Structure 1
């Protein structure tokens, strides 16, 4: 039984990236920062700000973003140490394999499979809503049967399926092409957000900030747990580790820079949103940024924000799907999932089978599942991953203090402990039914591991042949 806690040597993990089944190294620190911004700035700022303000935080939404941002910064410092030390695809799954052993690696990998799959589906559904609304404003009305899930009165969410199909095709063209398009989209959406700030800041009325904390601090915490979905993306930066030209220096920069930039933008935008319009008004809109500009009479700005929101959500979808394919790839290469999904295209150096699998599964989920079920599951998956990575940093510091760490998490064990406490607090603030669904998912994962993963693990095979 102790074999399931066997760790995979870091030297072995790195050696696997250098063979025919390794991925193409094409990214730098700037590319990684744009990937992070691409994944973080999107649904959170264009959709969830209104939901959290109206239902949980009120004007104290600023505090919710600060609370979530702090939890993420603590976790990001732990991620940065691992990313520089183990520049291998798979993110938290790989870090768990190197520090805590195969069993915990499987747990965190299975957790990440859920996190990314439901996040991709939720974001695609959000993209569909904005796209349908934009087409409607242009006089093109799509039938409800083709734009919402069956449980919401439709037949299929076709726009959500189409955008996932297009991004799957893009991911198959290669990592550099994907990064280039993401960079263009990021520039557009950041420009739109800055335009909103410049237009709206002059219309802030301090009276709208009273009462500042209408739902108490418990509301602030619940709001932080809800909008934590907005910060999912920085984890996706570390999934690109194997495709970075100078990972020891560039990965920590990409993770930390993107998170800091996004946190500042979130805080500024949430403050302006609740200052321009009373927080209660956002209860009836899924496009709070555009709605705020409409309320102050800047309709042309509202239209531009709608276009920026579609761009923003598109880049989130792009980076999320990129991250999911790399996690599947890493788990398959280790034998914990069928080897077929670990194969890499010789020409493009991308994991074709994993990309197609992710595209098909998430398209089906987005086409037939309501967004209410999928969004919170992404949050609990991320929080769990952050907690395990933070524990992994402390464990590896104790087990392997002699390892050369190009980037060191400062003040260990204080920072990892703060990450565990803050993420744990947000986790228990989630809806109890979400926690139950997550436990059921983990139970299914354990059955799969003991029936398939443990028997087919490459680490297990190496030990038998040694």
Structure 2
């Protein structure tokens, strides 16, 4: 068995035939807004509270900076890959080019965990803000349908989380242009709300709330960075869209780097103000930003923030489900998953069947699983993907020095290894349960690969043999 057979770069870029090709309709601004749509949302509106209360305290701002530094290194590596291998699949496709099929499968399986669990966690966060908004109008859902299964709390299913997932899936199947337009509108709304929080909250900051600044020590800062790393996965989704971009070699690096820069700045400012408004020990709530404004008596602003948070988290869910569907599409087109997942609707040019299948799975997970475990699983999957891609871009410099690169990582050895080390360090800060679940997930993936993927890979066909990398 040749477990490290590599498909040529030219074959990866060429994609499929007309039946498995996606419409090129996105530009640099669309990608930037797609990245902002994925990054700004759950990280600010949901995870900031949990990370401050349980991990970092007021030093949450350092957690965001630490996670942001790791992301900068990874983003540069993603940008080079995206400019040289502009195809659907993100880290999965890049690993196919750099390391071969088995490692590509492992990355793809890892990304299935990342996107699927992230989508579910985001849907749960959306549910929290939506219910808070309804409560403000005196509307209360049946308690049993307000959260994931918890017999002690008397909850059995998160109905709002399930409903929003299905609505987003419906939008995604209508076409990438409609999806991008909806995302752009929601991004404008949520950026306005984030700026509103900053503009109102800055006048009510109490410096004494920043003392002690680092109550859990640097270990708390590091574990906080691991926990909120979930908030940074958006630029990975930007690279997933490469096959649907008109000029991917230029526009994808712009989308990745610009969206990361904007969002890191906003994360730092918001976390600084948030912990200055409310004692960190009181921030372990589903809607920390709205809660902070209510805490200082600005209920009018809290209401607007809840509306903006709903819009913001909606775009995160949109981009996560989009990325998951394109990942399934790429893996199916390569024969590693059933062919039905790469079937494209002739009218909308979207992989509609796989999008609905993903929607059903995410609906189930969001309805029954609690938020905390989901966020940790997403973080470890993301960090693993970032580290692998960062190593892969260094490998490609030596295995394919002739490859056209519209963007090149500066100081490649330093940036690549710094990304691997920083991502590995953050992975080590995650709890034992997360590691155990991650290892079990990878073992299941390997079983599926050897039982189905390897035998059904297109590289086993005469046509596929012709696409093998000979170098």
TM over 0.5, shorter chain: yes
Distance 1:18 1:183 in 2: 30
SS at match of 2:336: coil
User: Could you tell me which residue of structure 1 aligns to residue 53 of structure 2?
Assistant: 54
1:463, CA displacement in angstroms?
7.3
1:372, CA displacement in angstroms?
2.7
1:400-447 per-position Cα deviation (integer Å, ceiling 9, x unaligned): 111111111111111010000110000010011100000000000000
Equivalent residues in 2 for 1:241-260, closer than 5 Å: 241-260=242-261
User: Does the Cα contact within 8 Å between 1:40 and 1:262 map onto a contact in 2?
Assistant: yes
User: Could you tell me which residue of structure 1 aligns to residue 391 of structure 2?
Assistant: 391
- Alignment partner of 1:70 is 2:69: yes
1:38, CA displacement in angstroms?
0.4
1:122, CA displacement in angstroms?
0.8
- Alignment partner of 1:178 is 2:142: no
Provide TM-score, normalisation by structure 2: 0.96
User: Does the Cα contact within 8 Å between 1:122 and 1:375 map onto a contact in 2?
Assistant: yes
User: Does the Cα contact within 8 Å between 1:17 and 1:88 map onto a contact in 2?
Assistant: no
User: Could you tell me which residue of structure 1 aligns to residue 92 of structure 2?
Assistant: 93
User: Could you tell me which residue of structure 2 aligns to residue 422 of structure 1?
Assistant: 422
1:240-264 per-position Cα deviation (integer Å, ceiling 9, x unaligned): 0000010010000000000000000
**CA 305–464 in structure 1, closer or farther in 2 if over 3 Å, else same:** closer
Equivalent residues in 2 for 1:27-38, closer than 5 Å: 27-38=26-37
User: Could you tell me which residue of structure 2 aligns to residue 341 of structure 1?
Assistant: 341
Distance 1:435 1:303 in 2: 38
Distance 2:436 2:385 in 1: 17
- Alignment partner of 1:432 is 2:432: yes
User: Could you tell me which residue of structure 2 aligns to residue 305 of structure 1?
Assistant: 305
SS at match of 1:349: coil
1:367, CA displacement in angstroms?
1.4
1:17, CA displacement in angstroms?
4.9
1:280-312 per-position Cα deviation (integer Å, ceiling 9, x unaligned): 2213x2211112211222110011111111111
User: Could you tell me which residue of structure 1 aligns to residue 469 of structure 2?
Assistant: none
Distance 1:154 1:210 in 2: 37
1:398, CA displacement in angstroms?
1.0
Distance 1:191 1:465 in 2: 52
Equivalent residues in 2 for 1:17-32, closer than 5 Å: 17=16, 19-32=18-31
Gaps of 5+ in 2: 467-471
Distance 2:380 2:127 in 1: 24
1:169, CA displacement in angstroms?
0.4
Gaps of 5+ in 1: none
Distance 1:386 1:10 in 2: 20
User: Does the Cα contact within 8 Å between 1:17 and 1:23 map onto a contact in 2?
Assistant: no
User: Does the Cα contact within 8 Å between 2:458 and 2:464 map onto a contact in 1?
Assistant: no
1:220-278 per-position Cα deviation (integer Å, ceiling 9, x unaligned): 00000011111111111111000001001000000000000000000000111112222
User: Could you tell me which residue of structure 2 aligns to residue 148 of structure 1?
Assistant: 147
1:18, CA displacement in angstroms?
6.1
Provide TM-score, normalisation by structure 1: 0.97
Distance 1:250 1:17 in 2: 22
SS at match of 2:15: helix
User: Could you tell me which residue of structure 1 aligns to residue 169 of structure 2?
Assistant: 168
Distance 1:237 1:208 in 2: 37
1:373, CA displacement in angstroms?
2.6
**CA 302–464 in structure 1, closer or farther in 2 if over 3 Å, else same:** closer
Distance 1:17 1:58 in 2: 50
User: Could you tell me which residue of structure 1 aligns to residue 360 of structure 2?
Assistant: 360
Tell me how large the CA RMSD over aligned residues is. 1.2
SS at match of 2:94: helix
User: Does the Cα contact within 8 Å between 2:37 and 2:183 map onto a contact in 1?
Assistant: yes
User: Could you tell me which residue of structure 2 aligns to residue 412 of structure 1?
Assistant: 412
1:107, CA displacement in angstroms?
0.3
User: Could you tell me which residue of structure 2 aligns to residue 80 of structure 1?
Assistant: 79
**CA 208–372 in structure 1, closer or farther in 2 if over 3 Å, else same:** closer
SS at match of 2:312: helix
The more displaced of 198-207 and 376-385 is 198-207
Distance 1:36 1:153 in 2: 37
